[in-house]
Structures are given as structure tokens and as C-alpha cells.
Amino acid sequence: PHAVQGTYIHIFLYNPLLALLFSYHYLSIYIYTFIYIYIYIYIYINTHTLIRLLKMIIIPLVVCSLVSGAASLDPKALGKLGGWAMLFFLVTTLIASAIGVIMAFIIQPGSSDGKKLSQLTQDDSNVPEAKEVIDSFLDLIRNIFPSNLVSAAFQSYATSYKFVKNDTNSTNFSLEKVPVGTDVDGMNILGLIVFAMAFGVALRKLGEEGEILIKFFNSFNEATMVLVSWIMWYAPLGIMFLVAAKIVEMEDVGLLFASLGKYIACCVIGHAIHGLLVLPFIYFVITRKNPYTFLLGLVTALATAFGTSSSSATLPLMMKCVEENNGVSKHISRFILPIGATVNMDGAACFQCVAAVFIAQLNGIPLDFVQVITILVTATASSVGAAGIPAGGVLTLAIILESVGLPTNDLSLILAVDWLVDRTCTVINVEGDAYGAGLLQYFVDRTSSKEGAELNKVRVDEENPASRPEISPLIEKQGSLELEEVAGPKPCEKESVM
């Protein structure tokens, strides 16, 4: 060993250029490794900073905005606004589901090469557990009424299954699947919304006694929006780091797009049709205003939706955009946007229909008319219960597959590209919420203008002297004298006792 070491020293002494190249090679490796680790840590920290900042203010923003909004509106007006909003959300979600099915049958994404798809199949441990349709809707109803408001901030109710051994005799037995209710990690935003709305209506019923709490929630809400304005300064940088971190994590982009390119294109084109044509067309037909001017005011919120893949995380910035850029009043935006972030999932419904038809085509299973209608209805209904979190739509996709008898084993393929498709889903979801708020603002303005015109007409009629019947001046004077005699002399006209 000493002889070999001496030989290397002898070579480097007589070949300084070789020694310089050797040292430069190893030094560059160390520098490259250090820079790579530093950049990765820097991107990782900044990526989670924006998401944590947005999640930090979701609960106070949702609860305070809904309490103040429900307390400031008349119960009849509250019910009318909620009814119009739910009708708009239901119709647009059904249209998005139909677009997804039509695009899937036109593009045929399930006709891809099976060899390439087999290379992308991931571990089935990431695939969500298949759940019965009835249990999913029962979970939705249970989450509407949380048993504990504190736990609802970070946990929700979900049904899981366990297999129980059913002994028929000493030798034969069968396994029975039994549903078991558990609490899983994840905010129960639906339960918080229902409680906040009911609490706001109750405060309004109290009258003067509830004004103190109403002012408290209004002030709390305004302070939260100030925090949102501060976070908006960091949002562009945080969005850049979010996208960069996801690109760094990708392994084989070429294989991904070569094997699932038609599926990705089908989802993205369906979302583009719904977001750039259908929703603006509905807004234009009803309001007769330029829908793309309205859409331009949502650029910051839509970019945040693309970066975070979460409707709930985008909610603070969406409120800021529709109020400041599009003229939506605070009462409407802070009442309807939290509801829309939970129940309005146009992008998720479109993607779920495409994924269901894609899996059917991939397995060579033809879909009849009844199955297609079942996919449409189930996707529209299940999207209401989809969580406004990243990959929330995949969790409800298993329900749609079970409803039409399709296998759930291929969900791993959906998860392989969900990081991209889910971003466009979130953009369409929050865009639909914003257009819904804009339409409600239009309805409120039109209703108030009609009521104001009627009130002005009544006041003008009352103040118009021409509408009074003509009375003779003598009769009028005689009537006034009779009234004076009945009332007696005025204090200033009484006789002095002096």
C-alpha cells in the first residue's frame, strides 16, 4: 500500500496538470452534490411554506365568514341565495360530467399500448380502499353533523371494513365484511360550514343580544382578510416552488406522456372546454357581461389553484380576487365561496367520468346506455362529497367504478398522472365557484334595483299633490277652526291670571 501511495504521489509531483484535473474532478462532484442538496432543501422548504400559510387561515376564514354572512342576511334571502347557488352548482357539475364522457368516447384514451401502461403500474398500497356507494353517502350525511367541533377541524368520519370470521360448524367458515366507523385525518369542512351557517342564523334571531358576537366575527373576518393580503405577496414565489418541486420528483416524463398522453389530453381538453367555453357562456347568457373580463380578475387565484391543487387552500385568495377585482360584495362572496369549495367540483366530475370510461376501455368492457347514465349521476353526486384537497377526486373515483362494476385495480394508473390532472381539476373547481358568486351578485343587484324602483314610485306618488282630492279652501279653513275649538286655546293664547 505504501508503494502504491508513493507511486501516485510520484505521478502527481511530475504531472501537475494531471493532479489539477484529478482534484478538479472530485471537487466538482462535491460542489455539485452540495448545490443539489441545497437547492432541493430550499425548494422543499418554500413549497411547504405557502401551503402551510394557506391552511393556517382556512378554519378561521370559513367559520367567521359564514357566521357573519349568515347573520347579515335575512333567512328568506339566505335560503333563496343558497337555492340558486345549489342549482347552479348542480347544473354545471352535470354538464362537466357529460363533457368528460363525450371526450372519453371521442378520444378513446383506453386504446393505448398495454406494454407501456404495465411499466407505469405502481404499488397498489396507494390505491384507496373500495367503498360501498351507500356507505359513502351515509358518511357524507354523518359529516354534516359533527359530534365534536374541535375534532372536526382536523378529522372526519369515514367507513372502513373488517372481515369477521363466521363459523357455521367446526370445519367450515366464511368471512363477512362488516362496516366500521372510524375517524380519519382530514378537515371536516362540510360540518364546519353547516354549523357556522346555523350559528349565524341563530345570532340574527337574538337581535340586539347577538350584535356583540356578530361584530366580533365581522372584525375577526376582516383581520383574516388582512392576513390573506399579506400572503398574496408571497403567493407567486410559492407557486413557482410548488411546480418546481413536483417537476423534480418526476422520474420518467417521456414514458409517462407516451403511455398516458391520450388520457391526459382527454382530461385537459375537457377541462378547457368547460372552463373557457361553458362557464363563460352561462355567465354571458344570464348577465350579458363580458365573462373573460371577469375571468381575468381571477388570475392570481387560478394560479394558486394550479400550484396547490386544493380548493380549500385557494379559498382565501379567491375571496380577495372576486371582492376587489370583480365587484362581488362581501356578504355574497364570504357566504357562497366556502360552500362552493366543498360541494362544487366540476373539474373532479369531468375527470372522474373520463377515468371511468378509460378504465372500461382499458379492460375491454363495453358500456351500455344505462351504465353511462349511472356514471354521470354517480360522478355528479359523489363530487359533492369529494374533499377539497390534493387527490380528493381519486378517493371518490372508486365509488363510481363500483357502481358500474368496473375493476379498481387500475386506479394506480390514475394516480401516476394525478399530480397533473388534479391541478387542472382544481382550476375548474374554483373558477366555477367564482362564476357562481358573480351570478348571485347579479341576481341580488337586479332584485334590489327592482325593489328600489317600486319604493321610489310609491314615495313619488305619496309626495305628489296632484294625487290628492281637491278641497275647497273655505271647507278646509272651517275644518281647521272646528279642530281648534275642540282642542282648546293654545298655551300662548291663554288669559293671564294677572
* pLDDT, position 95: 95
In terms of pLDDT, which residue wins out, 327 or 173? 327
Residue pLDDT, tens place only, 301-353: 999 999 888 888 888 889 999 999 999 998 888 888 988 888 888 998 999 99
In terms of pLDDT, which residue wins out, 385 or 243? 243
61-65, 96-100, 440-444, 477-481: which has the minimum mean pLDDT?
Answer: 477-481
Is residue 132's pLDDT more than 80?
no
* pLDDT, position 396: 74
Nearest to 107 by CA among 254, 261, 272: 261
Q: What is the pTM of this model?
A: 0.72
* pLDDT, position 498: 35
Beta bridge partners of 175: 165
In terms of pLDDT, which residue wins out, 114 or 217? 217
* pLDDT, position 475: 45
* pLDDT, position 73: 76
Q: What is the mean pLDDT of the chain?
A: 76
* pLDDT, position 170: 60
Residue pLDDT, tens place only, 436-460: 999 999 998 888 776 555 445 444 4
Beta bridge partners of 177: 163
Q: What is the mean pLDDT of residues 271-297?
A: 95
Banded pLDDT at 380 (limits 50, 70, 90): confident
* pLDDT, position 139: 81
The residue type of 319 is M
**CB neighbourhood size of 412 (10 A):** 16
Could you tell me the sign of the dihedral formed by the alpha carbons of 211, 208, 334, 202, in that order? Answer: positive
Residue pLDDT, tens place only, 212-250: 998 999 899 888 888 888 887 877 777 777 777 666 666
In terms of pLDDT, which residue wins out, 122 or 91? 91
Domains and CATH numbers, the chain: 57-452 (1.10.3860.10)
Phi/psi at 162 (nearest 5 deg)? -135, 150
